[in-house]
Copies of this chain bind each other. A is one copy, B any other.
């Protein structure tokens, strides 16, 4: 049984709390956040103040990147394993009075969406092999896919996640707003959106690409640019079209 204290109860903290509660190998002793109502939820104590944390195997910070350093300094324990859940912050940002580690779930957490942790990769890092093993064990309690990864590689992975998640979602956002402006139904695109993501599970992105940019269909590209009123959106369309074409001019 691994005992855990979760510090921070935003999207990441809440999703991890729910996932750990389902596992028999993990016990969340406490969740700490100034916004919480004090009391118990099942066997987990909800506390407001960091000064009230109890002894545990792992202290897991699910807080904003810029709070990691300060809060890990304020944590009133020593020589324990303390980890954060950030994709971008280096392990070294954690305070040196404890053993450092990272527990980064490669996923985008929205409050309202349920997450299937089993298929979700978790990137772990620690200063020593024992802690790396313990974090791997913690990860395996909720996920089938665990990877030991350096801070440097985790930062790269996080940036790539921004491209495939935040930027793709923004493509949906631009399309949705455009269709709504013209009284057209964004729902019609939902099967295509799902198909686009499913296709990439089996094809590589280059083989999956289709459309006017790849085909160098100048008429359609010009017509689309003329249809876009916002200069910024025009610029994005142009730049992405050029960028697609660059990929297909390479290595031929």
Contacts and interface: CB of A to CB of B under 8 A. Distances in A.
Interface of A: 11, 65-66, 88, 106-110, 112-113, 115, 119-121, 123, 145, 147, 153, 155-157, 159-179, 182, 184-186, 188-214, 217, 219-220, 223-224, 227-228, 232-233, 235-236, 239-240, 242-244, 246-247
Given A88-B219, A160-B186, A164-B172, 20 more contacts: A65-B219, A106-B192, A107-B192, A112-B207, A115-B195, A123-B188, A147-B185, A159-B224, A161-B189, A163-B171, A164-B192, A165-B195, A168-B171, A168-B193, A170-B209, A193-B200, A196-B197, A197-B198, A232-B242, A239-B239
Nearest to A212: B162
Contacts of A235: 239
A192 B108 contact: yes
A154 B28 CA distance: 53
B239 A236 contact: yes
B208 A169 contact: yes
